[in-house]
Amino acid sequence: MKFLKFLPLLMLSAFILSSCGDDGPTENTQALTIQSSLNYVSVIDRSDNSQTVLIGADYGVMVNLDRSTLQLHVNNFQYSSDERAISFTLPELRMDYTQTGWKVNAPSPIQVEAGSTTVTISDVKVDFVLRADGSQNLVTISFVMDNRYEVTTFFTHNQFIGETKSTDISDPANAPFTTNQSRYLIVFDGKTKKAEVQIAYPRFMEGMPANLGIMRFADIPMTYTEDGFTFSTSSLIPEIASTPYPAFAITNLQGTVVAGKSLSLTFECEKYDRKVTVTGTAY
């Protein structure tokens, strides 16, 4: 099974084929690097149930397909604003093949060196989503440190597929429109606390052109939650190919992303008196 890059809509990760050992047998390994600029780290402190969201870590993921294992390198990881960043490497963990994608679920505690200190890592979860073309997309990295800090990675780029349904606001039972063709990319900026919705193959009603290009809803205020983030705005002007379309204003937009899992999104189109509801899963 082959790793591939994300769709052109999303450039989050770089997959690189590699081999181990110049003189020995070649092993089927693949490496993935995720830069800190492409993620944020959510840390819940169990001692007081407080949440802190900090700049992301640099992750290195090495998958050994022959041994069905995954090794995780965590660099420049800051778990508290009062502490210096640390780096550590977990030993190879068992990777299970499922119908939905490769998964690592390692609940047992593992002691690892982190510079001049030792930390205990447990409840490690690394999830990939299997796509229709056979590629695997990394959507989840989470773990617990020292039985105190619950760490969840919030990727800045989050892609979803699922059902897009639109109804007549005045008469919801009258000829609702449904499609599974649209693709959603939710991008957020942790510095500005703004989110952007990008829609490939946008279709909200019969007769809507299929070749519109990527539609963008930009500069939407967002708020972190324990397992992801929400975003909402009373109104915005959609863009296609950097061109605004004020005649097709969007109102009452609300969205929720559960990191690595799901998207719930609703908005209204004033011009056509339609309400759009999106139920998506990570892709």
Residue 24: is it exposed, middle or buried by C-beta count within 10 angstroms (0-12/13-18/19+)? exposed
> 240 with 213: CB under 8 angstroms?
yes
Please name the helix (run of DSSP H) or strand (run of DSSP E) that holds residue 220, with its range, or none. strand 215-225
CB 175 within 8 A of CB 155: no
Q: Is the pLDDT of residue 177 over 50?
A: yes
Asked whether residue 155 carries a pLDDT value surpassing 50, the answer given is yes
**Whole-angstrom distance, CA of residue 233 vs CA of residue 251:** 7
- CA 87, distance to chain mean position in Å, is 23
pLDDT tier, 26 (very low <50, low <70, confident <90, very high otherwise) = confident
What pLDDT sits at residue 8?
Answer: 34
For 91-117, what is the mean pLDDT?
96
- Are 144 and 150 within 8 A, CB to CB? yes
> φ and ψ at 25, to 5 degrees?
-60, 140
If pLDDT is split at 50, 70 and 90, which confidence band does 172 have? confident
Cβ–Cβ < 8 Å for 230, 188: no
CA-nearest of 75, 79, 40, 13 to 189 is: 40
Fold of domain 14-155: Porin (2.40.160)
Tell me how many degrees the CA angle 259-261-267 measures, rounded to the nearest 5.
Answer: 85
Q: Where are the domains of the chain?
A: 14-155, 157-282
Mean pLDDT confidence for 126-154: 95
Structure tokens at 3: 């790793």
User: Of 149, 177, 214, 194, which is closest to residue 10 (Cα–Cα)?
Assistant: 214
Q: What CATH code is assigned to 157-282?
A: 2.40.128
The pTM of this model reads 0.90
Output DSSP code: residue 205. Answer: S
Region of residue 47 (left: phi > 0; alpha: psi -120 to 50; beta: else): alpha
Residue 72 · residue 59 · CB < 8 Å = yes
Tens digits of per-residue pLDDT, 37-86?
999 999 999 999 999 999 999 999 999 999 999 999 999 999 999 999 99
Q: So what's the pLDDT on residue 173? A: 84
Residue 43's region, left for phi above 0, alpha for psi from -120 to 50, else beta, is beta
